[in-house]
Structure 1
């Protein structure tokens, strides 16, 4: 069992396209926060394509590069001594992302996999759930950033769906207060069967989310990303702010459940218990080790727990946010 160290464990990140500056930007982030280097040379960081090879890598994409930087930085923040595997799918098509998912799960040493992407549910998505059915590997998925409503693969019964909160300093015993973030995805799946460990009353199918972490952009996190289309311009920040070029040029504050998923994947790695967990069931039998979020809403559902935070389980924040690692 772990609890304070992820040494020897690997958190995998599955994203689409290539971030050519992933390793160099990660180095700046980690140095800025006094974290140990995580490089290809020291064996901490590895970047591969969806076939597990270091080349050829997919084409670069400015938007996905920002996502990749965020994911790598959040793993670093939550589990500084975890190894990181970045698996880059050839495209954002589901077929390529599924190949990347299977590659991540098949890589020796991978304890958990984070997915900060999603798509609308259809009657076809259950057939792709096989790619998340990897016993012994904890798989986390962002619940979405569009408020009340269900996306896939967060709705897969084989994953831990991670919702979002707004987190701010407070004068209480914890030192922080949390409410449901208005953008957090949640609700009752139209297609997915209900896992045996879920018992909420108003949804006969899979309910999203399971747990949560900070996601509100206004109480967001810092990340470092410099992959952009500025070229050699000395006015890159201005050009980006005007929407004339794409990408980022250094430190940015970001949010979304894309923050929350890699954080929770890293907590699974810290706990060191993924090999004995049954998909996303473990937190449901260890709720006392979570911070219950009891206020806030992400939409209109008649005041139901499916879109309104309340004591105990609710859709936007699930069972709550990590309080140490005992719930994972």
Structure 2
């Protein structure tokens, strides 16, 4: 990539904005200076919140789950939103720089602007280029820092949208059972052509989900990523779902009803299903991931309102989607995210500033009682890294429920039970499907709720102790995974990965919310304090590479897999965390 722009006089670099070159990327051409792009300028949080409201927000972590009082929208804006003065200052800066203000949002802490490449390069002291990479495809990129005027340094937290290198990938794993695929009409909720795999409701029964709860009155968000702001629109990765295929799955394969599914387009093309072939998946088609998530959630909470938040595989796509899901009018109570990216990788996909904006939004979600369930990854402790071990972000955020993976086997007969459950790791299988992600964060320190549970030091030098991932787990091995519908609507297929585990847990939380008549919200402190022993199914056998399972919490399966009714009872009666 090109050399970084020199620091302009009277400007200061935004903290954490540095981007490194992508190794192996080839510059295609210089950017068209007249081309127009949109940027998301994120402000700091309100620097002067009301002390009373701030105290109310802090008190959430000291309240019992069943009796929490969450913030109103006005209170949320007071503590976690931007100040009107800061947004006005950003708007004025943008207008002076020749940028057009599209939208300004206090709860999102964001000003959306539009301008030419030439204006943006001048406004932020950057040089943009257009690049191609064998794995990442085509993207607009920059290298170095983003600069702002001295008087804006404390106001602007991040600027997203200049660099569109893809951030994140689906955490879905496929089997290699071959081409034997049953016709939809021949499949029912009680039969299966792949021995050892399950329909979603069979998994829910094994994990003892509360049967009387179907998601009535609950709203759940399912994140769906697809085409980033690519230089060549014809190469955009696809991603989406087929309503017809889903309807055939729910009504014919499962004998149930079609749930309410509403697309929410944050960025990108929205619902744009691809063919979900091996070739298209390698090019970035996330259709199989979207179908998996919706098949699981729709089967387990059919009476919930499901909102699919479509966004782009970019840092701007991440920041915009999370900010919108926790602040819009859809009143989301649970978010399921089956995507992630190593905290640190040679391609420099996450910047420190991007991570902070996303993590701030995840923290803010707790004040509205939103539970965020995130897949921990499908590559064991290495998490796509070329060497060493990695935790996956946003699963490594201390504000989410990170979900790892297991291999699950059930007894035979009309009333099956769990026969065995171990850490998912089939790297000794040929061909391998993957292993549950887990490890120690290199970004986030040890959260208070994980103190004293035996989080080990990282295997990476200097062997620090940080946020341990995951918190919990569920079946993820595709060879013992969940049977879902292909986007074509012509055949079923067994799928796994922690992409299956995360929506399983998200669906359980939806059922628990319904049963309790309230939102459990950020439940990690209560989970570790009151549910660490005897409530979940402790997984003690296996490893994910660098870390081994054992009694209690471990960096493979966290505290364990669901025992739904036990968890419901524990949360109903759990005292306030101390």
TM-score, normalised to structure 1, is: 0.81
Q: Which protein is bigger by CA-based radius of gyration? A: 2
Q: For 1:59 and 1:175, how far apart are their aligned partners in 2? A: 38
Q: Give the secondary-structure state (helix, strand or coil) at the position aligned to 2:552.
A: coil
RMSD of the TM alignment (CA)?
2.5
Q: For 2:564 and 2:554, how far apart are their aligned partners in 1? A: 20
Q: For 1:249 and 1:276, how far apart are their aligned partners in 2? A: 39
Which residue is 1:41 aligned to?
none
- Name which of structure 1's ranges 159-168 and 13-22 shifts more when overlaid on structure 2: 13-22
Contact 1:139-1:279 within 8 A present in 2 as well: no
1:277-296 to 2 correspondence within 5 Å? 277-284=521-528, 285-287=530-532, 288-296=534-542
**Do residues 137 (structure 1) and 370 (structure 2) align?**
yes
- Give CA-to-partner distance per residue, 1:223-257, whole Å, 9 cap, x none: 11225xxxxxxxxxxxxxxxxxxxx9531111100
Contact 1:221-1:255 within 8 A present in 2 as well: yes
Contact 2:241-2:271 within 8 A present in 1 as well: no
Which residue is 2:231 aligned to?
none
**Alignment match of 2:475 (pick from 214, 220, 231):** 214
- Give CA-to-partner distance per residue, 1:110-146, whole Å, 9 cap, x none: 2100000110103713443113220110001100000
**Alignment match of 1:104 (pick from 318, 322, 325):** 325
The alpha-carbon distance between structure 1 residues 320 and 47, as it changes in their structure 2 partners (threshold 3 A), is same
* Structure 2: stretches of 5+ with no match in the other structure: 1-65, 67-208, 227-237, 277-284, 345-350, 382-389, 426-434, 458-464, 569-578
Q: For 1:59 and 1:216, how far apart are their aligned partners in 2? A: 28
Work out the number of aligned pairs and report it. 293
Q: For 2:315 and 2:437, how far apart are their aligned partners in 1? A: 20
The alpha-carbon distance between structure 1 residues 116 and 21, as it changes in their structure 2 partners (threshold 3 A), is closer
Deviation at 1:78, TM superposition (A): 2.5
Q: For 2:223 and 2:291, how far apart are their aligned partners in 1? A: 12
Contact 2:407-2:477 within 8 A present in 1 as well: yes
Deviation at 1:164, TM superposition (A): 0.1
Bigger relative CO (Cα 8 Å, ≥ 6 apart): 1
Q: For 2:240 and 2:443, how far apart are their aligned partners in 1? A: 38
1:184-263 to 2 correspondence within 5 Å? 184-199=436-451, 200-201=453-454, 202-203=456-457, 204-226=465-487, 250-263=491-504
Contact 1:289-1:326 within 8 A present in 2 as well: yes
* Structure 1: stretches of 5+ with no match in the other structure: 39-43, 228-247, 302-306
Contact 1:112-1:265 within 8 A present in 2 as well: yes
1:25-174 to 2 correspondence within 5 Å? 25-31=245-251, 32-38=253-259, 44-50=260-266, 57=270, 59-61=272-274, 62=276, 63-89=285-311, 91-106=312-327, 107-122=329-344, 124=352, 125-133=355-363, 134-135=365-366, 136-148=369-381, 149-170=390-411, 174=417
